[in-house]
Each structure stands twice: as C-alpha cells, then as structure tokens.
Amino acid sequence: MNPADVFDPLRPRLLRIAYRMLGIVAEAEDVVQEAYLRWHQTDRAAVRDAEAVLVRTVTRLCLDVLKSARVRREEYVGTWLPEPIVDAVEGDDLTLTLMMALERLSPLERAAFLLHDIFGMDFEEVAKAIDRDPAACRQLASRARAHVREARPRFPVSEEQGRELASAFYAASRGGDMGALQALLAHDVVVYSDGGGKVKAAINPIYGQERTLRLFEGLLRQLDVNYSQLVHEGFIDGLPAFVTLEKDGTLQTTAFGVEDGRIATIYVTRNPDKLRSIRGLVEDKLPS
C-alpha cells in the first residue's frame, strides 16, 4: 500500500497533536512532515497499528522541538503567545487560555495530559509515546490537570455571549467610550500582547482594570485606533475574538477570556511571523 494512503487520513489528527504541543503552526507542520518521511522508511508490513506508531513518532519529535523551544522562548522579546488559529468553538475545550497554562508545564507533563485527556489515549498508549511507564504517565497527567483546572473558566461563556462581548469591546475601544469599556472588564483583567520584538507591543502583561483603561486611552491618542479596520469576527483557539488591520499596517488578533460575564484576559497577537495563516484567511479584505 502507498504510504500516503495510510498517512493522509491521519494527518489532521497528527497536526492537531503537534500544534497543541508546540503552539506554532509551522513547527507543527514540520514535525508532521518529518513523521511522514520516517513513515516512508518504516517496515510498514510489520506495523499492526499505524495510528499508534505515528502518534508516537509525532509526540517524540515534538518533545525534541520543545527542548530547544524553551531556550528560544526564554530569549523571546516580550510575552510569548501561541500562534492564533481562527476556528469555530473548540470541541476539545482546549482554549488559548488553557494552552497558556500548559506553557508552564514540563514537556512530558504537557504530552501526557494532551494525549490522555484531550486526545483520548489510554495510559498504556501514552507510556509508549513518551517512553515512560503508565504509572509515571498518570502522575504527569494528574499534575498537568491541576494546573489546567485552575485556568479553566468557572462559568463558561456561550458562543452568542462571547461574540457580543467581543463586538462590544471593539466598539468601545475603537470609539473611545471608556465607560462602556470599563463595564466590560473584570477588575483583575490581564492584557497579554505579543509583538515578538518585530512590531510595537507591550513588553510585559498589563494587570488590572485601571491600567488596562489607561492603555487603551493611550492607544487612542498614539495610534488613532479609529482607523482600525475590522476584517474578521469569530473565535480564535476557542475564545471570542476579532482580527483587525491597524493604521500602521499591522494585522492584529484580539481574543478574550471571559469569567462570570466579564472580560478577564485579553490576548493581542501582533507578531507578523505568527499571523501568516491569518493573513491568508482575510487576504480578500485587506487593501491591495
């Protein structure tokens, strides 16, 4: 049988695993392509479960990438956010907020949690994938689960409410209505902004409602956000969000974590290296 006949139907699942592990689409695609090349070189006639073998290969390649990625992220300018993926509401309930929580885990904890809790593998399979015994995998997943539980919203927002909050935020922040903006924000709201040192962005997170309001007041004066062009509304990694083209020509995604009906976290991605797939999605709405 042609290697692609087995591999191609599994590619979407392998890409999801790799992206959830790495947070960068290009790195995930590279890992899956490397897994495909290795699949070509495998004695496929001796393989009883192709999916298990390929998941194991992708997971181990991701663990190798994460070892070097930690060094790169320590040197990263400002806050590192996962690459934004525009999609429908996430079926696996793993939002951008939870991916940020996973960033605080060790690579093995992250792998054990994702493979078992998100992708439904039993601990025997997880053990083979990460080369640990099942008991160790249970402990790794349990520790990861505790971190994820802390980050999971206590009152999940409905899709309709999420869209309404995102739309109201856009109108208030671009229209300069600070009273309306304040009403949308939790008192302990946090703003994370990722420019990667490539474009202007806050280096450190902005904590609290008062500082967040000052931030957007300043942006109104400095960047003339009234020029901001809304090019897409929807969800990014399971969170209500929108995509804009700003006056300086920068494409930007803004996503919202919601707690008890108010915006508790704001994730702004401006690093152009992380917005290539977004640009392709909204290309027809951008000025030529």
Q: The tokens 């804009």 sit on which residue?
A: 244
Please answer whether residues 157 and 232 qualify as being in contact, where contact means their C-beta atoms are separated by less than 8 angstroms. Answer: no
Work out the average pLDDT over 255-264. 92
Arithmetic mean of pLDDT, 185-194: 96
CATH match for 159-284 among 3.40.50.1370, 3.10.450.50, 1.20.1050.10, 3.30.230.10: 3.10.450.50
Q: Are 68 and 8 in contact (CB under 8 A)?
A: no
Please give the average per-residue pLDDT across 219-229, as a whole number.
69
Model pLDDT, residue 288: 61
pLDDT tens figures, 76-107: 888 999 999 887 444 456 688 888 888 888 99
Q: Per-residue pLDDT averaged across 235-240, rounded?
A: 90
In Å, what is the CA distance from 260 to each residue of 145, 148, 153, 162? Answer: 22, 18, 8, 12
Q: Say if CB 83 and CB 23 are below 8 A apart.
A: yes
> Is the per-residue pLDDT at 44 higher than 80?
no
Q: CB–CB of 56/9 below 8 Å?
A: no
- Please state the rounded mean pLDDT for residues 227-248: 88
Residue 268: strand pairing partners: 193, 254
How large is the average pLDDT for residues 272-277? 90
What is the structure's pLDDT at 71? Answer: 65
Residue 272's pLDDT is 93
Q: What per-residue confidence (pLDDT) applies to 90?
A: 47
Look at 209 and 69; give whichever has higher pLDDT: 209
Structure tokens at 103: 């960033």
- With bands split at pLDDT 50, 70 and 90, how would you rate the model's confidence at 21? very high
| Distance between CA atoms of residues 159 and 125, nearest Å | 34
Is residue 248 over pLDDT 90? no
CB atoms within 10 A of CB 2: 7
Average pLDDT value over all residues in the chain: 88
What pLDDT digit, counting tens, does each position of 146-175 carry? 888 877 766 677 889 999 999 999 999 988
Residues 6+ apart with CB under 8 A from 96: 81, 82, 84, 236, 237, 238, 239, 255, 257, 267
pLDDT of residue 92: 53
- Count Cβ atoms below 10 Å from residue 50 Cβ, excluding itself: 17
Closest of 40, 27, 32, 39 to residue 12, by C-alpha: 32
What is the spatial distance between Cα 165 and Cα 171, in angstroms, rounded to a whole number?
A: 10
Average pLDDT over residues 102-128: 93
Q: What is the residue extent of each domain of the chain? A: 3-150, 159-284
The CATH H-level (homologous superfamily) assignment of domain 3-150 is PhyR, sigma-like (SL) domain (1.20.140.160)
pLDDT of res. 2? 80
pLDDT (average), residues 207-221: 91
Amino acid 218: pLDDT: 87
Residue 166: C-alpha distances to residues 43, 90, 172, 240, 282 (Å): 51, 17, 10, 6, 18
Confidence of residue 67 (pLDDT cuts 50, 70, 90): confident
